[in-house]
Amino acid sequence: MVSLPSYLNRARVPAVFGLLLALFLPLVVRNVSSEPFVYDEADYMYAASQGFFANWSDTPSIPMADFARIGFVRDGRPSMSQGIRNSNDVLFYRHFHGPLFHYLLIPVARRGLRERLVRTALLAIPAASLAVIYFGCWWIVPGWNAAFLAAMLFLSSYSVIGSTELAPHQLFTLCSLACLILLLKAVATSHTRYWYGALVAAGLAFCTLEIGLALLLTLLICCCVERARWRVDRKFAAKSLGLFLGTVLVAWPAAILRLSFIKSYAVLAFLAASRGAAWGTAGFAETWRTRFFGSPLEWLLIAAGLVMWAGAKGRNLYPVALFAVITLAATLRVLTVTPRYSLGFVPALDLLAGLALVPVLGPFRRPAGYAVAALAVGLYGDAWYRAVHRPHNPNPRSAAVLSYVHQNKLENKAILAPQADVPALHYYFPNMRLRGYFGPAPSATERAAFSDPAIIPAAEP
């Protein structure tokens, strides 16, 4: 028979999560834009419009030989963009990411909702991540302190609440957090069933974003470290490899059968090596200054958590720290003030800080609880203040370009437009015959084939 205090303690677990969700949703929803879909979002929506099978099988997709030939031409960027768009390559419209995010986007996109509602519906993904980090921490370290602090770090993080556009990064966060928590449990208990669960989660992460390779490397290193305790042998290795490949084959068979993952990593390498401003024009100092001042208390607690973890012996949190270091190293060249690009490592650091800080806050339950509550109030108050005072600058050009097209009745015409406008025009006006140009203005040769109304300037029309 369960005692009343025990029952009340268990009942408090979902009640506290309900409170966390009630705090999180108003904070994140206020950042959702109602502007038209632009660039990445427009391409993702177009890929979703192709349906489940097209994304599952990467059909249509240009052959590997043609893909390589386009990539090796002298001016690879325009040739790749124009050539692959003309082929209707669904992998290209996903920006060479895996299809897992699109499996969630497809049913939402087909509802015919307005842009803001589509973006809001996909906030179910970070809400699920909040559940994973809260219940996962409770599972690893029973008691509400660690779970509550880690969840508060997550829900107040600028990388999380600032990433409300349509993109697969939030889904990768969900998969990576699930993988890391299962891996922590495997390290703590030596039960290999948790290891196999972590492999499935890593397989799903691999089918979401290319940075999933960091999870695989983390798993491999942890397997080497724990090989004696887990009794790693050929059978164990074969079963692990088979489970990972089986997960990928179910979720994204084209990754293996059509070698789509090679295209994904080739494009990522091309962007990192050939384009200095592939993710924006920010430098290293500006990128990290924006990240820190976006949620400074979070970063201070992360730093304190790392210090506490590094100085403690016998704590089995090294997989999370290892993943964060690998992901940071892999994304070091991704210099941008866009918050979603730090979702690969910041939530993992939030998890680490929550688990590492709570045990050293104090030996008694009540003082530790007060300390966690004070930190939670500080985190949320800071996040809300910054959300309220952060300037919201919707992209006025996107709506202006669409209005320009309607006013000039260009919906079914041949149009010359800046390359940055091409994805949105292609999505909203599928019958339009588009040609993009790079740079501040089209060349005389490019302009010769188009009338003045059919040329959209780089400046606001």
Quick one: pLDDT at residue 121?
Answer: 94
Residues 296 and 413 both lie in one domain? no
Show the domain range for 417. 397-454
Residues 443 and 313 both lie in one domain? no
- Whether 22 maps to a domain, the answer reads no
Task: Taking each helix axis as running N to C, give the angle between helix 192-206 and helix 212-225, from 0 to 180 degrees, rounded to the nearest 10.
Answer: 160
Q: What is the pLDDT of residues 336-370, one digit of tens each?
A: 888 899 999 999 999 999 998 876 544 445 566 67
Token pair, residue 232, equals 């790693």
Q: Give the span between the Cα atoms of 327 and 218, in whole angstroms.
A: 10
Backbone angles phi, psi at 52, to 5 degrees: -65, -50
- Whether 347 maps to a domain, the answer reads yes
Q: Give the span between the Cα atoms of 323 and 343, in whole angstroms.
A: 13
Q: Which helix (H) or strand (E) holds 21?
A: helix 4-29
- Whether 29 maps to a domain, the answer reads no
Among 26-40, 62-76, 219-233, 294-308, the least confident range: 62-76
Q: Where is the domain boundary, 338, 369, 389? A: 389
Q: What 8-state DSSP symbol labels residue 455? A: B
Contact in structure between 401 and 425 (CB atoms under 8 Å) = yes
What Rg, from alpha-carbon coordinates, does the chain have?
24
The three state secondary structure string of 42-92 is HHHHHHHHCCHHHHHHCCCCCCHHHHHHHHCCCCHHHHHHHHHHHHCCHHH
- Whether 151 maps to a domain, the answer reads yes
Quick one: pLDDT at residue 81?
Answer: 62
- Whether 275 maps to a domain, the answer reads yes
Residues 371 and 224 both lie in one domain? yes
Residues 406 and 270 both lie in one domain? no
pLDDT category, 5, cuts 50, 70, 90?
A: very low
Mean pLDDT of the chain: 84
Q: Where is the domain boundary, 360, 389, 418? A: 389
Residues 307 and 448 both lie in one domain? no
Residues 321 and 438 both lie in one domain? no
Quick one: pLDDT at residue 440?
Answer: 78
Residues 383 and 401 both lie in one domain? no
- Whether 377 maps to a domain, the answer reads yes
Residues 176 and 317 both lie in one domain? yes
Residues 213 and 345 both lie in one domain? yes
Q: Which helix (H) or strand (E) holds 417?
A: strand 414-418
Quick one: pLDDT at residue 311?
Answer: 75
For residue 4, count CB atoms less than 10 angstroms from its CB and return exposed for 0-12, middle for 13-18, buried for 19 or more.
exposed
Distances (CA, A) of 345 to 49, 139, 172, 351: 31, 21, 11, 10
Q: What is the value of pTM for the model shown? A: 0.89
Q: What is the pLDDT of residues 57-83, one digit of tens each?
A: 988 887 777 676 666 554 545 555 666
Distances (CA, A) of 79 to 61, 68, 73, 390, 417: 16, 12, 8, 39, 16
- Whether 79 maps to a domain, the answer reads no
Distance of CA 452 to the CA centre of its chain: 40
Residues 293 and 426 both lie in one domain? no
pLDDT category, 277, cuts 50, 70, 90?
A: low
Q: What is the pLDDT of residues 139-175, one digit of tens each?
A: 888 777 888 889 999 999 999 998 999 999 999 999 9
Q: Where is the domain boundary, 336, 358, 389? A: 389
CA-based torsion, 171, 40, 122, 48: positive or negative: negative
Residues 450 and 336 both lie in one domain? no
Q: With H, G, I as helix, E, B as strand and everything else as coil, classify residue 436.
A: strand
Q: What is the pLDDT of residues 194-243, one digit of tens each?
A: 999 999 999 999 999 999 999 999 999 999 999 989 898 999 999 999 99
Q: Give the span between the Cα atoms of 170 and 127, in whole angstroms.
A: 10
Quick one: pLDDT at residue 336?
Answer: 84
Q: Which residue has the higher pLDDT, 148 or 125?
A: 125
Residues 356 and 412 both lie in one domain? no
- Whether 28 maps to a domain, the answer reads no
Q: Give the span between the Cα atoms of 22 and 130, in whole angstroms.
A: 11
Residues in the chain: 461
Angle of CA points 405, 43, 97, to nearest 5°? 170
The number of distinct structural domains making up the chain is: 2
